[in-house]
Structure 1
Amino acid sequence: MRGFHRAALILPLILGLAGAMHSPAVRAFETLGMSWRTGRINYRINPNFPDQELSGTREQQLELISCSAESWREQSTADLRFVYLGTTTATGLNDNDGINSVSWTNQDGGDALAVTLISGVGSRVEGFDMVLFSGSLGTANEWSGPQDPPSGTMDIRGIAAHEFGHAIGLDHSDIRTSTMYAAALNRGQHLRTLHEDDIAGVEFLYETRAGA
Structure 2
Amino acid sequence: MKITQAERDAVYKTIFNRRDVRAEFEATPIPDDVLKRILTAAHHAPSVGFMQPWDFVIVRSDETKQKLKQGFIQANREAEALFEGERKEQYRSLKLEGIQEAPIGICVTCDRTRTGPLVLGRTANLDMDLYSSVCAVQNLWLAARAENIGVGWVSIIHDHVLHQTLGIPEHIVPIAYLCLGYVSHFHDQPELEKRGWLKRQSLNSLIHEEQWQDKSHK
When normalised by structure 1's length, the TM-score is 0.27
TM-score of the aligned structures, taking structure 2 as reference length: 0.27
More helix by share: 2
Greater Rg over alpha carbons, structure: 2
- Larger strand fraction of residues: 1
